[in-house]
Amino acid sequence: MSRLAHVKNTLTAFLIGTLSAIPACHRDSADRPAMADEFDRARSRLLEELRAEGIRDERVLHALEAVPRQEFVLPEYRSRAYVNNALPIAQGQTISQPLVVAMMTELLDLKGTERVLEIGTGSGYQAAVLAGLAREVYSIEIDAHLAAESAQRLQRLGYANVHVKAGDGFFGWEEAGPFDAVIITAVAPRIPERLMSQLKEGGPLVMPLEEGFSEVLVRARKVAGQVKIERFGEVAFVPMRGAIRTPTGQGH
């Protein structure tokens, strides 16, 4: 055997040895189905967990089931994409816990015909879940890098009814409104007035609200000129930034 052939054979033997030592889901192309199966199983387990935690709306569960969360997390967290936890994403932000995404989505009570406004696109995961339950989703992200990355991700994954823009969600998206429902996925000291005014009469606005040292999930509705608020327990979110934090709350 020539020296080159020997080196090639040794290399092949080494590669075969190495490949079999790597778990199936880390191998390339030929093993993609194994990896997809693994994600499918983990997703089914997560759905059972959400049911056990009290999520009853089958449409919401179905919408979560349809979104590949592994595509929305950082590569190093892909194997934990279906653990019921919040995870870090780029720019020091987080993708919300699936249970909280499910709870907030359930509170919006969508029928499929709505135009929804989301503040805090983050990874785009919540927007993708909403995309399966509403007609159009408008999502605003204050971090320009995250906005661009998530807009591209959502487009790549085929979510044609999600529209992302970079900006301060405090000001809403006047041209696209009025909205049937609003969701804010960052915690704020009060309900941003402009978002309430871009919401149709009676429509829900779901958000985490700072109350003393805690954060409470609330649903607000504007009924006959009055804002009615319902509370749904404690949550933990990253803060809403921008104009809502300035003394006048109006920006500069």
In whole angstroms, the minimum distance from the beta carbon of 154 to ligand SAH comes to 11
The span of 10-18, 92-100, 105-113, 202-210 binding ligand SAH (CB under 6 A) equals 92-100
Number of residues that bind ligand SAH (CB under 6 A): 24
Task: Give dist(CA 119, CA 32) in Å, integer.
Answer: 35
Verify binding: residue 24, ligand SAH, rule CB under 6 A. Answer: no
- How many other CB atoms are there within 10 angstroms of residue 232's CB atom? 15
Verify binding: residue 122, ligand SAH, rule CB under 6 A. Answer: yes
* Three-state DSSP state, 98: helix
In whole angstroms, the minimum distance from the beta carbon of 143 to ligand SAH comes to 4
The span of 1-9, 77-85, 139-147, 221-229 binding ligand SAH (CB under 6 A) equals 139-147
17: Cβ contacts below 8 Å, ≥ 6 apart: none
Q: Judged by CB, which is closer to ligand SAH: 66, or 223?
A: 66
Read off the tokens for 11: 């290399």
- Strands 136-141 and 162-166 turn out to be parallel
In whole angstroms, the minimum distance from the beta carbon of 185 to ligand SAH comes to 4
Residue type, 142: I
CA distances from 11 to 20, 30, 67 (A): 14, 20, 40
Which position among 63, 73, 105, 169 is part of the footprint of ligand SAH (CB under 6 A)?
Answer: 169
Q: Judged by CB, which is closer to ligand SAH: 93, or 198?
A: 93
Read off the tokens for 190: 């009060």
Task: Give dist(CA 243, CA 17) in Å, integer.
Answer: 57
Q: For helices 98-108 and 58-65, give the axis angle rounded to 10 degrees.
A: 130
Q: What are phi and psi of 23, to 5 degrees?
A: -55, 145
Verify binding: residue 104, ligand SAH, rule CB under 6 A. Answer: no
Which position among 82, 185, 206, 235 is part of the footprint of ligand SAH (CB under 6 A)?
Answer: 185
Verify binding: residue 203, ligand SAH, rule CB under 6 A. Answer: no
Q: Judged by CB, which is closer to ligand SAH: 217, or 240?
A: 240
Verify binding: residue 50, ligand SAH, rule CB under 6 A. Answer: no
Task: Give dist(CA 136, CA 166) in Å, integer.
Answer: 17
Give the footprint of ligand SAH on this chain (CB under 6 A): 93-96, 119-120, 122-123, 125-126, 140-143, 146, 168-170, 185-186, 238, 240-242
